[in-house]
Chain A
Amino acid sequence: MSQDKKLKGSESLVAALEHEGCEVIFGFPGGVAIPFYDALYDAKRLRHVLVRHEQGAAHAADGYARATGKVGVCVSTSGPGATNLVTGIANAYLDSSPLVAITWQVRSDLIGTDAFQEADITGITLPIVKHSYLVKTTAEVPQVLHEAFHIASTGRPGPVVIDIPVDVALGEIVYRDADTLDLPGYKPTVRGHIKQVRAAAKAINEAQRPVLYLGGGVISADAAPEILRLAESRRLPVATTLMGIGAFPETHELSMGMLGMHGTVTANYAVHECDLLINLGARFDDRVTGKLKAFAPHAKVIHADVDPAEIGKNVPPLIPIVGDVRQVAVGLVKELEGMEWSAERTAEWLARIAARKEEYPLQYEAPADGKLAPQLVIEEIDRVTAHDAIVCTDVGQHQMWATQYYTFTFPRQFISSGGLGTMGFGLPASIGAQIGCPDKTVVDISGDGGFQMTEQELATAMSCGLPIVVCILNNGYLGMVRQWQDLFWNKRYSCTSIETQPDFKLLAEAYGALGLTVTEKDEIEPALREALACPRPAVIDFRTSPQENVFPMVPAGKEITEMIGGQAKKTGGRTS
């Protein structure tokens, strides 16, 4: 941007976005957003993706951020536009995703008068943002945007809301790129304390039954290569959280898969029996720990996290380390290099884990009703995409099966709503992911319930010509709630049957996308191949059995030993 040029506030926002390296924003216009959209009309580098509902803009920006590691940006008008972003902002907050949400606001002099389309969005979003701004003057615009990008993407990432009254967009300033920060209260600790790192290395070196427990922090810190080095240096078996999926290749012999409520028997029992639990970038969420008092009862705990507030929140660690997980891992590897160690120390432990993996694999049987096994559909998606697709999901049974039966091998490969558990996340997130990673195959695995919450974004995907493949595991139920009703509520299936629904094939075709319906096993692969080859969006309606439940399952608030399912190996089904 050439310096000292007079720009309107709206133009300076476009200039500032371009200065931050922002390539794409997701949004939807409205009354007070018109000046900004007018400025966008002349933007040379900044691309705008027009969604069909603002929630889609927030999720798409979030999906873009998770797939690329860059800041995702969404834009809305005031009032309902802004409130429609709220779920997406909360979703980004719970999963620590770097999101900047720009909301336009009514004129400054109208704020507080219940003006048309006025909503106090900074007030509404206060508990779900890392930070927020209500911009008062045109002159502040470049600086606020610069700070917002910095805050969203550093330390523990998170969403930042920038609310801008329309008169601020209309005012003129001499635009200058903002490159300095004035944030006296914001200095994330990046480097872990060397004494703590050393103590942790010593504990790792001495452990006989260690477990590496990886969370989303590993992915946001881009720490996977260092973590791999750490795990291999002491042969540490690895369990990941939902958010940590992809932080460690599941094809690796040290991988135990996911832990927690629907985690593997191997991972959960390893945590239960370990003498050292090394938590890197995870937060001891209740879906992971079950009953806190009985969690990892024999373990010393090391907990490294960039957010000091996470340390000691649920589990008091013996060795806390505040710092960026990548830096901590580098430090640990360095310290361990100088220590003597023999593979004999953990040999028995690794043998026990290997035996358990063999004896208690994830498994399922062909459904008695003759319909498709949802697990099989995921296995086929995994096989046909050769473990290499970016997989987005909604929330529910299909999401858990995706974690269990897809083989994730690299970071940012699995994009899912973890903390907030937002149905409808998958399709818009896959749009963001595909725009961020145009050369990757992007698959959205969804349920018939979640898909219908944001299905209008098929139009967005069409308008952008995105070759995403939407796989709906259609069992005619809100499956995860049905599963809880099945297991804990006497099979009283209150309000979970959603048999009345559109023909998803025809719906896809109505949008101009490819639509396919699959009812038989041998149709799965051809349908997937056809969809993957299609340059347009594709929707495959897989008619799966409503009787299938996700196992194993540690019921909410229970101990790992109270796991349902997870029996020893049966014949048939998946055995690896």
Chain B
Amino acid sequence: MKHTLSVLVENKPGVLTRVAGLFARRGFNIESLAVGQSEDPGLSRITITIDGAEHPIDQVTKQLHKLINVVKIRELDASCMVVDELMLVKVNAEGEKRTEALQIAEVFGAKIVDVERRTVVLRVVGSTQKLQALLELLQPLGVLEIVRTGIVAIARGKG
């Protein structure tokens, strides 16, 4: 089972190391991690996705709470959150492949952000599933490079 944690931390040096290190020490694999400034310039928000199948998530959130620089932890409810991830993909676009790449991009609402003689770069934002589906379609063209931000998530409404 996947868990999405939204962790509010003090914007201080070394905080990310402390958080990431703690997951490793307690035997969790981080699947995705994204960090950036929050609404408060003194605080950053980290969105972490982990697979909690092997260990109960409870223990790691409690341990996370013990880090002095961690201010708040929230496990987001999958049915009540907005999740997005940004991906840049460089694909082979020689000859006929170029048209195909452009068509696929259009269907997925992906933007072409770079065009070269032999490659194009697509930028797409969406759920992990959407990004996966796009990749599968692009695969036959020849995917040269993938860069993903990791997911960011926010709870819906005021909750």
A residues contacting B by CB (< 8 A) are 122-123, 126-127, 130-132, 134, 136, 151, 183-186, 307-309, 312-313
Chain A residues with CB under 8 Å of B67's CB are: 131, 185
A313 engages B14 (CB within 8 Å): no
Partner of B21, one of A127, A134, A309: A127
Chain B residues with CB under 8 Å of A307's CB are: 66
B68 engages A185 (CB within 8 Å): yes
Chain A residues with CB under 8 Å of B25's CB are: 127
Partner of A123, one of B9, B10, B17, B71: B17
Q: Is B65 an interface residue (CB 8 A)?
A: yes
- Contact status of A185 and B59, CB under 8 A, knowing A122-B14, A126-B17, A131-B68: no
Chain B residues with CB under 8 Å of A136's CB are: 13
A126 to B13, CA, bound (A): 13
A184 engages B21 (CB within 8 Å): no
Number of interface residues of B (CB under 8 A): 20
Chain A residues with CB under 8 Å of B69's CB are: 185
Q: Considering the complex, give the chain B residue whose CB is closest to the CB of A310.
A: B62
Q: Is B156 an interface residue (CB 8 A)?
A: no
Q: Is B132 an interface residue (CB 8 A)?
A: no
B9 engages A312 (CB within 8 Å): no
Give 16 new A-B contacts, CB below 8 A, not counting A134-B13, A136-B13, A312-B59.
A123-B17, A126-B17, A127-B25, A130-B66, A131-B68, A134-B14, A184-B10, A184-B71, A185-B9, A185-B70, A185-B71, A185-B72, A307-B66, A309-B65, A312-B58, A313-B59
Chain A residues with CB under 8 Å of B71's CB are: 184-185
A123 to B17, CA, bound (A): 9
Chain B residues with CB under 8 Å of A151's CB are: 68
Report the minimal beta-carbon distance from B58 to chain A, rounded to whole angstroms.
7
Chain B residues with CB under 8 Å of A185's CB are: 9-10, 67-72
Chain B residues with CB under 8 Å of A183's CB are: 68
Q: Is B63 an interface residue (CB 8 A)?
A: yes
A312 to B65, CA, bound (A): 15
Q: Considering the complex, give the chain B residue whose CB is closest to the CB of A185.
A: B71
Chain B residues with CB under 8 Å of A312's CB are: 58-59
A123 to B62, CA, bound (A): 22
Q: Considering the complex, give the chain A residue whose CB is closest to the CB of B70.
A: A185
A67 to B9, CA, bound (A): 35
Q: Interface digits, B3-22 against A, CB 8 Å rule (1 contact, 0 not)?
A: 00000011001100110010
A308 engages B62 (CB within 8 Å): yes
Chain B residues with CB under 8 Å of A131's CB are: 67-68
Q: Can you offer 28 A-B residue contacts whose CB atoms are under 8 A?
A: A123-B17, A126-B17, A127-B25, A130-B66, A130-B68, A131-B67, A131-B68, A134-B13, A134-B14, A136-B13, A151-B68, A183-B68, A184-B10, A185-B10, A185-B68, A185-B69, A185-B70, A185-B71, A185-B72, A186-B68, A307-B66, A308-B62, A308-B65, A309-B59, A309-B62, A309-B63, A309-B65, A312-B59
Chain B residues with CB under 8 Å of A313's CB are: 59
A430 to B156, CA, bound (A): 58
A123 to B21, CA, bound (A): 10
Q: Considering the complex, give the chain A residue whose CB is closest to the CB of B21.
A: A126
Report the minimal beta-carbon distance from A503 to chain B, rounded to whole angstroms.
45
Report the minimal beta-carbon distance from B71 to chain A, rounded to whole angstroms.
4
| Listed residue (B18, B62, B66, B71) with the most chain A CB atoms within 10 angstroms of its CB | B66
Q: Considering the complex, give the chain B residue whose CB is closest to the CB of A311.
A: B62
| Listed residue (B13, B18, B68) with the most chain A CB atoms within 10 angstroms of its CB | B68
List which B43-93 residues lie within 8 A (CB) of chain A: 58-59, 62-63, 65-72
| Listed residue (B14, B17, B25) with the most chain A CB atoms within 10 angstroms of its CB | B14
| Listed residue (A122, A185, A308) with the most chain B CB atoms within 10 angstroms of its CB | A185
A307 to B66, CA, bound (A): 8
Report the minimal beta-carbon distance from A84 to chain B, rounded to whole angstroms.
22
Report the minimal beta-carbon distance from A103 to chain B, rounded to whole angstroms.
15
A123 to B59, CA, bound (A): 23
Q: Considering the complex, give the chain B residue whose CB is closest to the CB of A127.
A: B25
Report the minimal beta-carbon distance from B83 to chain A, rounded to whole angstroms.
25
Report the minimal beta-carbon distance from B37 to chain A, rounded to whole angstroms.
16
A308 to B25, CA, bound (A): 18
Report the minimal beta-carbon distance from A534 to chain B, rounded to whole angstroms.
45
Report the minimal beta-carbon distance from A126 to chain B, rounded to whole angstroms.
6
Chain B residues with CB under 8 Å of A184's CB are: 10, 71
Chain B residues with CB under 8 Å of A127's CB are: 21, 25
B17 engages A309 (CB within 8 Å): no
Chain A residues with CB under 8 Å of B59's CB are: 309, 312-313
